[in-house]
Chains A and B, each alone.
Chain A
Amino acid sequence: MTRTLLTGNAAAAWGARLAEADYVPAFPITPQTEIIELLAEWMQRGAMAGRIVMLESEHSMLTAAGAAAATGVRVFTATSSQGLLYAMEMLYTVAGWRVPLVLVNVSRGLAAPITLEPDHNDVLAVRDSGFLQFHCATCQEALDGVLLAYRLAEDARVRLPVMVNMDGFYLSFTREPVRLPEPEQVRRFLPPFDPETLYFRAGAPRSQGVAVLGGAQYSYFRYEAHLASLGALRVFEEAAAEFARLFGRSYAPLETFHTADAEFAFVMLGAFATKAKQAVLRLREAGWRIGLVRPRLLRPFPAQALVEALGGLRGIAVIDQNLSTGMGGVLCSEIGAALLRAGARPVVAGYVGGLGGRDIPVEEFFEMARETKAAAEAGRCPPTRLLYTEEELRQTRALQAIAMAE
């Protein structure tokens, strides 16, 4: 197992390479493009025995990906942001086909206004599609996540596509030390794809993705996908246990950091959660009993683990790098609902921050901790706050003046 410096994109590409993906339908978009460029290079010089094909859009790319998986090959693909939404119709469709494939999404804010920098609105917009979602916080996780994703997707008890998500720039273009597993070891963890009943071939007539009429049939197929997704939680835990045995790295559906004795916790998804870890350590030095909870799996939603981790706390600060306009943060309402249904009532402070790649400096974590504690003492959940400073508004005003917006 070599340790080397890799960007998140390269780590994801390594995941696909080590998984020995047969087929990669592709389309470029920043900040994902490096993944498909690397795969193309490896395939063209024979370092990887797969085929990459450039499609003309992400909608077509997902169609080709799903159709190839339905024919019985191991498929990898990647996109980002507008591309993910352009493929939206096909995300639901291929999930409904019940085909296993792995899609890496490199999160980037959605237009308009168009931007290159990350937030999680893209990946959360498709959270109901049937794809499972694995969210990464490090480049190592991007690689390992792809391997875990194949195990999950191809398990007969699941057979759903899986999305591995990483933040644009903060992971995609950032190099970190990554352990590259040995191909032999990976093969033990992830045996060759057994398509079972998934194929098209002469002599075995098969109709896939067939139309249905009537709510009873439709409900059946949709709900079965839901049951498979819920069941994937256990399958993931099994796979993660084997992964830990083989590679020495443990992945629970929920990452918890200093929560054992905590009174408070930050809750967030993705790469910025490592910033929260840094804040936790500093706050603890100052005497706080505070931790971090980070869902790796968002679909299936690890509700029980979340309730166990958060239910007994005095207050939690949910930091959403997304915005459901007219509602607030997506994660906050999902977690709030899980706690409510479990009868657990920590005070929940909702924050929206990091939109369009806006940084969240450590001081803001300190301040969120302070506000959350005050709210807990008052026994009241505060309204959702946008992490935004006077200085930022001043800068925006200056630009508005140039734009002659009055």
Chain B
Amino acid sequence: MSETRFKALKDLPAQHLLLPGTPMCPGCGGLEVVKQVYDVLGENTVFVNAAGCLTLLATYPFTPFRGSWIYTAMASAPAGAQGIRDALDILIAKGRLPPAQNLDVVVLSGDGAAYGMGLGPTSAAIDRGLDFYYLCYDNEGYGNTGQQTSAATPAGARTATDHGPVGFAGEKKDLFSIWVAHHPPYVATITSADPVDLARKVETARGHAGPKLFIALAQCPTGWHYDPKDTVQMGRLAVATGIWPLKAYAGGRVTHTRRPKPKGERPPVEEYLRAQGRFDHLFSPTRNEEALARIQARVDAYWDAAE
């Protein structure tokens, strides 16, 4: 990732392509991600959407896109991408579409779909070597239906279906590794709080044919219970505390594109957790030392192994 046009914020596109007027919550991290990714991908794209909050990006007769869009269903957006990609290829091969009018096909899916109902279709699309982008905005729950627990919900988070004193008792699924196990050309994690890292990764992905997959942290003020103004801080904390590793898989190798400070020097995960209402119960009325230690230990173990 040496030759990049994106070295600093200043180098990012000054004109933003995704237009305003969407029904997303104020401060929506998912929207921020889509906006930043769109700036790099450009308008010669067709977004193929799975049911989720961002389905309402295009609500008849309003669309914020300069390019194209189709809403499919919760499970099968990758198959929708397959149909469009195949159709475009057929049209070009048969001389019915000038190659200059070709489009990039981009799946836009929430975590609920990506980690759960849509995982089979995603896996199959990777198996078929489909040439597409896949953008999972991970707000760590079924946001559109009121933030119920999904397979992406992190340990300890309170959701609409996990109210208990420990919040969600399970662990967040490692979708990155599941995808990597398919050996697609490119997989990366991103956050809109690090727009330069994000832009570089999307730019790098452009150089690969086949499946190019992204998991974006999608800070969700509504579902995570924090003030919308703190969306960027939440993303920065996630990276700085090490709970959201920024990494990329390409050429058979996983590389960390940002490294939090070493153990002991980096801020404890607690700082990230305490900033969000969904973890309140870990701090009051009494501190749940056991849960906090467990979450911290998992983050530390991750980075120990990544050394």
Contacts and interface: CB of A to CB of B under 8 A. Distances in A.
A204 B121 CA distance: 28
Interface in B57-75: 58-61, 63, 65-73, 75
B84 A63 contact: no
Size range of the chain B interface in the assembly: 35 or more
Interface in A8-62: 22-23, 25, 49-51, 53-57, 59-61
B59 A210 contact: yes
8 shortest A-B CB distances, which residue pairs? A67-B83, A60-B79, A64-B83, A56-B124, A71-B87, A68-B83, A63-B76, A68-B87
A206 B68 contact: yes
Given A55-B124, A71-B83, A210-B59, A90 B103 contact: no
B56 interface: yes
A57, A207, A217 interface centre (most CB from chain B within 10 Å): A207
A65 B83 contact: yes
A51 B79 contact: no
Interface stretch (A127-135, A154-162, A195-203): A195-203
Given A64-B79, A67-B87, A204-B101, 17 more contacts: A56-B123, A63-B80, A68-B84, A68-B87, A70-B83, A71-B84, A72-B96, A90-B76, A200-B70, A201-B88, A202-B44, A202-B101, A206-B69, A208-B68, A210-B58, A212-B59, A213-B59
Contact of A64 (B68, B86, B91, B97): B86
Give the most central of A23, A211, A212: most B CB within 10 Å: A211
B69 A207 contact: yes
Interface string B95-107: 0110011110000
A209 interface: yes
22 contacts: A25-B83, A54-B128, A55-B124, A59-B73, A60-B78, A63-B73, A63-B83, A67-B79, A67-B82, A69-B87, A70-B70, A71-B84, A73-B86, A73-B87, A73-B90, A75-B83, A200-B103, A202-B101, A204-B101, A207-B58, A209-B70, A211-B58
Given A51-B90, A56-B124, A201-B97, A208 B69 contact: yes
A55 B128 CA distance: 9
A56 B120 contact: yes
Nearest to A193: B96
B43 interface: yes
Contacts of A73: 86-87, 90-91
Nearest to B100: A202
A205 interface: yes
Interface string B218-232: 000000000000000
A89 interface: yes
A373 B88 CA distance: 60
Interface of A: 22-23, 25, 49-51, 53-57, 59-61, 63-73, 75, 89-90, 93, 97, 199-213, 217
A168 to B, nearest CB: 25
B81 A67 contact: yes
B84 A67 contact: yes
Q: Which of A50, A55, A210 has the most CB of B within 10 A?
A: A210
Interface string B28-62: 00000000000000011010100000011011110
Contacts of A204: 68, 101
Contacts of A89: 73
B46 to A, nearest CB: 5
Interface in B98-147: 100-103, 120-121, 123-124, 127-128
A25 B87 contact: no
Contacts of A200: 46, 68, 70, 84, 88, 103
B10 interface: no
B199 to A, nearest CB: 22
Contacts of A72: 87, 91, 96-97
Nearest to B56: A211
Contact of B65 (A53, A75, A205): A205
B84 A210 contact: no
Contacts of A207: 58, 63, 65, 68-70
Given A93-B73, A210-B63, A61 B79 contact: yes
Contacts of A49: 94
A396 to B, nearest CB: 38
Contacts of A210: 58-61, 63, 69, 71
Given A60-B124, A66-B83, A67-B72, A201 B90 contact: no
A55 B79 contact: yes
Contact of B101 (A65, A201, A209): A201
Given A57-B121, A207-B65, A210-B63, A71 B82 contact: no
